[in-house]
Structure 1
Amino acid sequence: MGTADDADVPAFWQGLGLPGLADVHVHFLPPRLLRRVWAYFETAGPLIGTGWPIRYRESDAERVAHLRRLGVRAFSALAYAHKAGMAEELNRWTLDFARATPDCLPSATFFPEPDAQRYVAGALAAGARVFKVHVQVGGFAPTEPVLDPVWGLLADAGVPVVVHAGHAPVGTAHTGPAPFAAVLARHPGLAAVVAHLGAPDYAAFLDLAERYERVRLDTAMAFTPFFDRFVPFPAGELPRLRDLGLAGKVLLGSDFPNLPHAYAEQLAGLARLDLGDDWLRAICWGNAAALFDLAG
């Protein structure tokens, strides 16, 4: 993909012979909360650390329409709780959103609180197919004892959870590979998707994906000029990234709509790696299609 223009995105996946794109790292939130998130990004809040203008400041309907024009045939609605008492209501909203938006994977979240196991079980019963948890924003250790039965529930259900466990953009006491590695040691069957390839500790999170059968990574923001300024992916790890992608372990993520650049930048960055069309086909569709049983 030579340019980073959204108008060129359909030609990109059509040239690979794909039915479209599957993006595991997309955010849809209740409008008031989303506006607050955007304000936090754009004012360089403490957990952002840099100016981060939001490119896609449209309504839910307009953003869904844009994804469809791009050819994104399956996407998530990742919401994440940053304090106790909000996850269950977020789950109601995101699950309702998915019911009204057939190409959206029913999505849910949780927080370390006494009733987390109950409402996670409820979300699973309601059809949740992917969860999101944000260790950095939530400010909690993934090893919190109250979360242990939640991780176990998700491992038993085989439902993936997208985990922002890495230090980027700003590290906290509970981010980095060690805390989440402790979760995996206790729940080795957990179907985890490490957001942002685990930036900046790429090598350590690649190790976890190699060690645990059901651990994967998403590409959100990686290999874009914006992200490369701060946390560039080490060239020496590209062979492992290629092998893991071909083994079903790397999924397309974008972080749409919370982007300071065009959606196409994500795809252009992946194409620039020159890891082969088979790799691109796996990342952009095949791996997510297998994980979520998407129709071709």
Structure 2
Amino acid sequence: MTTAPPVDDADVPRYWRELGLPGLVDVHVHFLPDRVQAKVWGFFEAARTHYGTGWPVAYALPEDERLEILDRLGVRAFPTLPYPHKPGMAAWLNQWSAGFAAGRPQVLQSATFYPEPEAAAYVADALDSGVRVFKVHVQVGAFDPRDRLLDPVWARLEEAGTPVVIHCGSGPLAGEHTGPEPVSGLLERYPRLQLVIAHLGMPEYREFLDLAERYERVHLDTTMFATDFTEQLMPFDPADLPRLAALQEKVLLGSDFPSIPYSYAHQLQALHRLDLGEEWLRAVLWRNGARLFRLED
């Protein structure tokens, strides 16, 4: 490759410009209500208890500063990806996320849901209000995505084709319902769901590559994938790189900004050093996300 990877965050715009891109589309960014965000960061402060390693949050900054950083990096579109950990929380998060997206064209209005009787109604309301992407966190929510309370939700989302970023792999923490089996069962019922498998399904990379190969609308996001931090904990088998290369049109840039223990530039460095070619990078960093969210329309 003739383009050199970015050396730091200030160098990121040079990187995407040399690749011939108008910027970046990041499908895995979080903006949450202040008290929810504070609890999330508090969890990472105690990371040695949870993960056995430190997790210093690189961008634990006020909301306006985080927005300015994404703008300087050239992230042209990103979601807020709220997620509940208990019943009765999702509808409130959806309302907050809609307000956050209002007046900010770079923000992809986001929503979430939980297995509860009200889910079908508030998901329908969210879709009617213009939601572009949903987030589901199987480990934090501690629920099976095949829960029958969610049948009308998945049916509606399959029909609408709205992307759902789903954290379903067993990393960095396993849960009762994480891993490929629940998602495979879900897709057997709803094979045309537009799922985006967060973190490339870490650490069950191979099994989630299988699902992306098998199902037309299943995508993978690169959140924390191939970084030094993740490779120490959940390494990716280089033997599967040809499969990742072949899935060029189904891999999307994700970062987990702001709650990452390294610079944003390092995620791009990690993808660059996979050595899958500049065309692969152009697809992952911009083209696939722009197509999925119809940015070019």
Smaller-chain TM-score range? over 0.9
Secondary structure of residue in 2 paired with 1:229: helix
Aligned pairs for 1:85-104 within 5 A: 85-104=88-107
User: Match for 1:188 among 188, 191, 197?
Assistant: 191
| Number of residues of Structure 1 aligned to a counterpart in Structure 2 | 294
Give the secondary-structure state (helix, strand or coil) at the position aligned to 1:89.
Answer: helix
Q: Deviations along 1:201-251, whole A, 9 cap, x unmatched?
A: 101001000110000010000011011110111101101101101xx2100
* Structure 2 partner of 1:15: 18
Structure 1 residue 100, shift from structure 2 partner: 2.9
Question: What is the rounded CA distance, in whole Å, between the counterparts of 1:72 and 1:241 in structure 2?
Answer: 23
Q: What secondary structure sits across from 1:295 in the alignment?
A: coil
Give the counterpart of 2:28 among 22, 25, 29: 25
| Deviation digits for residues 146-197 of structure 1 (CA, Å, limit 9, x no counterpart) | 0111111111010000000000001111000001110000000100000000
Residue 241 of structure 2 is matched in structure 1 by 238
Equivalent residue number for residue 71 of structure 1: 74
Letter in 2 for 1:289: A
Residue correspondence of structure 1 range 125-164 to structure 2 within 5 A: 125-164=128-167
**Contact 1:41–1:48 under 8 Å retained in 2:** no
- Identity over aligned residues, as a percent? 57
Distance 1:46 1:113, change over 3 A: farther
Runs of 4+ in structure 1 off by over 3 angstroms are: 1-4, 45-50
- Give the residue type in structure 2 aligned to 1:39: G
User: 1:38-57 alignment to 2 at 5 Å?
Assistant: 38-44=41-47, 48-57=51-60
CA separation in 2, counterparts of 1:117 and 1:71? 36
Query: For residue 86 of structure 1, what is the amino acid of its counterpart?
Result: M
Q: Check conservation: 1:193, 1:216, Cα contact below 8 A.
A: yes
Show the counterpart of 2:278.
277
**d(CA) in 2 for partners of 1:23, 1:203:** 23
Deviation at 1:49, TM superposition (A): 4.7
Structure 1 equivalent of residue 224 of structure 2:
221
Contact 1:81 1:111 in 2 (8 A): yes
Gaps of 5+ in 1: none
Unpaired runs of 5+ in structure 2? none
State which drifts further: 283-292 or 45-54. 45-54
Please state how far the C-alpha of 1:46 moved relative to its aligned partner: 6.2
- Check whether the contact 1:155–1:187 (CA below 8 A) recurs between aligned residues: yes
State how far apart, in whole Å, the 1-side matches of 2:53 and 2:86 are.
Answer: 23
Q: Are the equivalent residues in 2 in contact too, given 1:49–1:170 (CA < 8 A)?
A: no
**In structure 2, what is the Cα distance between the partners aligned to 1:184 and 1:101?**
33
Where 1:101 maps in the other structure, the secondary structure is coil
CA distance in structure 1 between the aligned counterparts of 2:149 and 2:51, rounded to whole angstroms: 28
- In structure 1, the residue matched to 2:265 is 264
Candidates 160, 177, 183, aligned match of 1:174: 177
Given residue 264 of structure 1, which amino acid in structure 2 is its aligned partner? A
State the 1:55 CA deviation. 0.8
For 1:249, the equivalent position in structure 2 comes to 250
SS at match of 1:197: helix
CA RMSD of aligned residues (A): 1.2
The change in CA–CA distance for 1:68 and 1:189 in structure 2 (over 3 A counts) is: same
Per the alignment, residue 289 of structure 1 pairs with 290
